[in-house]
Amino acid sequence: MKIRTQPPDHSNVEPCHTQEVITFYGGCHAVRLHYRGINDHHICWEILTEDDGNWFLSKEGASSSWLPELIELLTKAEKWMYEHAKPDIYNNIQYGYKL
């Protein structure tokens, strides 16, 4: 997966509600790091989702102290799908999993 810190060309990105630190863009999701407030430099994160070149802010987000837990939960969910679900294959390409 290609990770970049700038949105793809011709993208519209929903603005950050506080001062943005950096955003990491994947193909369909992005993780934005930002300050918690104007005078509060604690770093928080939020997830953006892409649709037709537009990046929308999801409802997910929290303090940076919770990021390791999110990574652990996503890793456990991925492992569970790998062990218990079937690959979702279309035209010989795997698009995630299905039950």
81 vs 85: CA distance, rounded Å: 5
- Strands 29-37 and 20-25, sheet pairing: antiparallel
pTM above 0.85, yes or no: no
SS3 40: strand
User: Do 5 and 24 contact (CB within 8 A), yes or no?
Assistant: yes
The number of helices, as runs of H, and strands, as runs of E, in the chain is 1, 7
97 vs 86: CA distance, rounded Å: 5
pLDDT tens per residue, the chain (99 residues)?
A: 566 778 777 678 888 777 878 899 988 889 999 888 888 888 889 999 988 888 999 887 888 898 898 899 899 989 999 999 999 999 999 988 888
